[in-house]
């Protein structure tokens, strides 16, 4: 019994280029590098909380990306990228990485849609007077009118995205 292995050497440079691309790029999910400083500040306050502003921590990015469902979906996209790179198909490998990033960004928005505990306080929902410690006086706060945490104007919600960066 003889076994013959045949390698098409003309495909080797394309495969090498695609594999080098995969090894030198990473998918970053969350707020992209061009996100506004305001969105970065809001996310930091929401993720870690602010005792002075009476805002409890509501981490959403890491829990959303660490869910088994999200990791399985993103892993499938990464596997597609590897398969495409092994075939020498750089555009398909890049498209698979972009799909992985979009899956992650969609998972963050889905987590916000499902509701992030703890719920908003009654004064956040309907408005009212609160004591502003730094100012040393009472301040009237206009309520949001709804009880959905991490979603007010939609600016932060819509800012979640992904980037493919060189490492």
Q: What is the pLDDT of residues 77-109, one digit of tens each?
A: 999 999 998 888 999 999 999 999 999 999 999
Query: 53 or 79, which is more confident?
Result: 79
* Distance in angstroms (rounded) separating the CA atoms of residues 56 and 116: 11
Give the Cβ contact number of residue 114 at 10 Å. Answer: 9
Percent share of the chain, pLDDT over 90: 57
Mean pLDDT value across residues 6-31: 85
pLDDT for 36: 95
Q: Locate tokens 């990473």: which residue?
A: 26
Global pTM? Answer: 0.82
Three-state SS at 141:
strand
Crossing angle between the packed helical segments 90-114 and 68-86, to the nearest 10 degrees: 170
């Amino acid at each position: 019994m003889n076994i013959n292995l045949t390698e098409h050497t003309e495909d080797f440079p394309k495969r090498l280029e695609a594999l080098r691309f995969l090894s030198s790029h990473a998918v970053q999910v969350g707020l992209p590098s061009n996100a506004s400083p305001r969105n970065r500040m809001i996310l930091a306050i929401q993720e870690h909380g602010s005792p002075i502003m009476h805002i409890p921590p509501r981490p959403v990015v890491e829990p959303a990306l660490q869910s088994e469902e999200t990791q399985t979906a993103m892993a499938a996209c990464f596997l597609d990228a590897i398969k495409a790179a092994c075939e020498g198909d750089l555009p398909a490998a890049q498209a698979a990485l972009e799909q992985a990033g979009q899956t992650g960004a969609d998972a963050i928005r889905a987590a916000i849609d499902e509701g992030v505990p703890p719920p908003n306080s009654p004064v956040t929902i309907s408005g009212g007077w609160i004591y502003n410690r730094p100012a040393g006086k009472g301040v009237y706060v206009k309520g949001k009118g709804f009880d959905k945490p991490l979603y007010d104007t939609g600016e932060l919600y819509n800012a979640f995205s992904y980037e493919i960066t060189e490492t």
